[in-house]
Chain A
Amino acid sequence: MANAADAHAHDDHGDHYPGFFSRWFCSTNHKDIGTVYMFVSMFAALVGGGMSWFMRLELAEPGLQYLTGGAPDMQFYNVLLTAHGFLMVFFVVMPALIGGFGNWFVPLMIGAPDMAFPRMNNISLWLLIAGLALLLISAFVGSGVGTGWTVYPPLSSSIYHPGAAVDFGILSLHLAGASSILGAINFIVTIFNMRAPGMTLHKMPLFVWSILVTAFLLLLALPVLAGALTMLLTDRNFGTAFFDPAAGGDPVLWQHLFWFFGHPEVYIIILPAFGLISQIVSTFSKKPVFGYLGMAYAMVAIGVVGFVVWAHHMYTVGLDVDTRAYFTAATLVIAVPTGVKIFSWLATMWGGSIEFKTPMLYAFGFIFLFVMGGVTGVTLANSSADLVFHDTYFVVAHFHYVMAIAAIFAMFAGWYYWIGKMSGKQYNETLGKIQFWMFFVGVNILFFPQHFAGLAGMPRRIPDYPDAYAGWNYVSSVGALITAVGTMLFFWILYRTYAAGTKAEQNPWGEGATTLEWHVPSPAPFHTFEDQPDMSGKQPAE
């Protein structure tokens, strides 16, 4: 596989860069668009992450200290936790894993010269930035959006949020949703239509598989959110009654529609992480992934089953017992394909020649965190147990482990893995490892005690709590501080890499890195694969 691509690497005449405005604002280049996505994500991470540190500051001890705006409703705290959720889900993780790494590496890994629809690729980026701007504005309009990221009516209705802030939030998600749908179409067509000759679907790298499944989830789930948001908008502004029981509407309808989108959404976040971790585990174990086809179809299975489990987020709204029994059973089924993934990663490492570079450390971290969150997920999937756990910090700990921090670990893993290819500069390995350990220790001290607080009954989404919860909350806030320092160190490493990084080789990882992106120079030239490599007769890219 290497020779076909290497032979052509030198006749890439692709380094004629357009002017500044043309290159960064009117781009039709998957690499440049991916790079902007990465920086948008980092900006949103600083804002959204900063908000969570302010919340941990407030929660460090009982009583109301800092975030007392909007008392006695504590609207300001609610605005922070809402914006934190929106930012992290829609503007940090999705832009980095799908927009950033997806854009950069899907075409490279399948030997395609670019994305299928380069202009549509750019409108995906800019609609996302427009959505981000609307979301940030919403925090400064009236008293802000204090609904939580789930935007349940009646709290989000005009009775309790009369100002324009929630409308800003709704239209922000409309634009971000349009961005994602267009991006999803682009990825699906690119993967189905532009693979190098001989690269059958069953030879695609698992990261490409993960983006393919994710794109289908986006395509099917986001329009449903768009429909629900439209109904909320007309309820608020044009007098319809979708969610107003006084006129025959039903607030639980919102929860069904929201979670029919919302549950696939959490897989949208974690599936690209799965793909990435598979590449990294294989590279640094110097072995192909164990059970390649099983890994690919486990993701397909997770995607399919992910559409029929949504009501496990709604066990306490008064669903009848049969419905809850079904959603419990269906949810537990997901543990099977997820188990396939975990054990295949372990089997890939088994007997491998493992090299503990920073990306591999982060892959280990990901597997640990994901298993932790997965185990509490099995607990929460049981409707009878969830009646007690619902809306406690146990849930907060669960989803931060399983999707939030796990996805952030995958982002870090991907950044360290691919920064040489993206920038042409290699990061400092020692600093990378220090950053990993700070982050790993930090997030565990931050989130592990929240299980205990939650089991003891501490409710989520509150700025104050009884003294009984003081101990674990203090520990948790110390963890937040360590995580914050770890994050700052990451931005230092980022700066040092661009300013003074050593020159990255074409393939810095050696024999384990077999996928096509390691057969083009570092940094990857403006245009790659003007001649597509012939992949017929080759092994699966893993």
Chain B
Amino acid sequence: MSAVKSHPYHIVNPSPWPFLSSVFAFAMAIAAIMYMHGSTYVPMVGFLIALIACSILWWRDVIIEARNGHDHTDEVRHGLRMGMLLFIVSEVMFFFAFFWAYFNAAIPAISFVASPTWPPEGIVALPTWDLPFLNTLILLTSGVTVTYAHHAIRLGDNKRAATGILLTVILGLLFTACQALEYSHATFGFKDGIYSSTFYLATGFHGFHVIVGTIFLTVCYFRTLKDHWTPESHVGFEAAAWYWHFVDVVWLFLFTAIYWWGGPI
């Protein structure tokens, strides 16, 4: 905006997206409450779509700025990476609450008792070494493919990187499909007491994060095809990769705690 600046930071022009996003978030909150109290879900979905549109336009601006060659200096990219890392830390604390709820219910029923009562009577827990273990392998493999893509970008080989990211996206979709299959085969529903509550909310929120990560990587796939990355500068991909590793690690905790330690007796 101003004529001279000698610092390396990015002075951003005014933008309508934060304000519009907040307006739609507000409207969506009201529509969601109306839906929860018996009204139709249509307005809620409508405002959600508007919110997503705002996000897309916002990120579009960021990508344009990243590509113009002077806004995203080394210092700005350093800040963006730091911001993503902190966002992931806040996400970890979000899952912390669900794990707390789970252990609050499971520990008294498993540990320090003569005969464990977890899973509670009437709940047939999912077999640990079937789909859940397959899903573990899928996610661990996807961690390998995304790292392969990262190394390819560092070497300037965006073709191989695209292959790595595409494989990761496919594995992510496969995970989501397996999870859907698992839910459809579970003999306990969402409303069947504390086991179901902790199981579905924890794994459900994880599944939602997998979907978000998959979308993030899909965007990165198309950006790779357009050669948006250089070996030195590829913050968008790094953020997606970190997010994906975070989702992976959360799953390892879920698998160990819920499917294995608290699994079928």
Contacts and interface: CB of A to CB of B under 8 A. Distances in A.
Nearest to A230: B201
Contact of B191 (A116, A222, A240): A240
Contacts of A126: 18-19, 21-23
A527 interface: yes
B197 A249 contact: yes
Interface string A204-226: 00000000000000011111101
B90 A222 contact: yes
Given A28-B14, A129-B22, A531-B7, A240 B78 contact: no
Contact of A188 (B82, B193, B195): B82
A234 B197 contact: yes
Contact of B104 (A120, A130, A250): A250
B89 interface: yes
Contacts of B113: none
Given A168-B33, A222-B90, A193 B26 contact: no
Given A175-B25, A256-B100, A167 B33 contact: yes
**SS class, residues of chain B in contact with chain A:** helix
Nearest to A186: B83
B194 A164 contact: no
B68 interface: no
Interface stretch (A17-25, A321-329, A350-358, A360-368): A17-25
A130 B201 contact: no
A376 B18 CA distance: 43
B7 A532 contact: yes
Interface string B1-13: 1111111010111
B1 A240 contact: no
A256 B96 CA distance: 12
A181 interface: yes
Nearest to A27: B14
Contacts of A23: 14
A164 B17 CA distance: 29
A509 B34 CA distance: 54
A396 B82 CA distance: 40
A133 B26 contact: yes
Contacts of A248: 105, 120, 193-195
A501 interface: no
Given A134-B29, A193-B79, A530-B6, A227 B17 contact: no
A137 B27 CA distance: 13
B120 A530 contact: no
B22 A185 contact: no
A22 B18 CA distance: 12
Contact of A122 (B18, B75, B100): B18
A167 B1 CA distance: 43
A118 interface: yes
A488 B259 CA distance: 60
A11 interface: yes
Contacts of A118: 11-12
B64 interface: no
A106 B23 CA distance: 28
Given A11-B4, A189-B83, A231 B11 contact: no
Interface string A230-258: 11001111111110000111100100110
B93 interface: yes
28 contacts: A23-B14, A25-B16, A26-B15, A28-B12, A114-B9, A116-B79, A119-B17, A122-B15, A123-B17, A130-B23, A130-B29, A133-B26, A164-B37, A171-B33, A184-B90, A185-B87, A185-B90, A189-B79, A227-B95, A231-B201, A238-B191, A240-B197, A240-B200, A241-B194, A242-B194, A250-B194, A530-B6, A531-B4
Cβ-closest 5 pairs across A and B: A227-B97, A126-B22, A248-B194, A239-B191, A123-B18
Given A247-B193, A531-B4, 11 more contacts: A28-B12, A28-B15, A114-B11, A127-B22, A129-B22, A171-B29, A175-B26, A242-B101, A249-B105, A253-B105, A260-B100
Interface of A: 11-14, 16, 18, 22-23, 25-28, 112-114, 116-120, 122-123, 125-127, 129-130, 133-134, 137, 164, 167-168, 171-172, 174-175, 181, 184-186, 188-189, 192-194, 219-224, 226-228, 230-231, 234-242, 247-250, 253, 256-257, 260, 527, 529-532
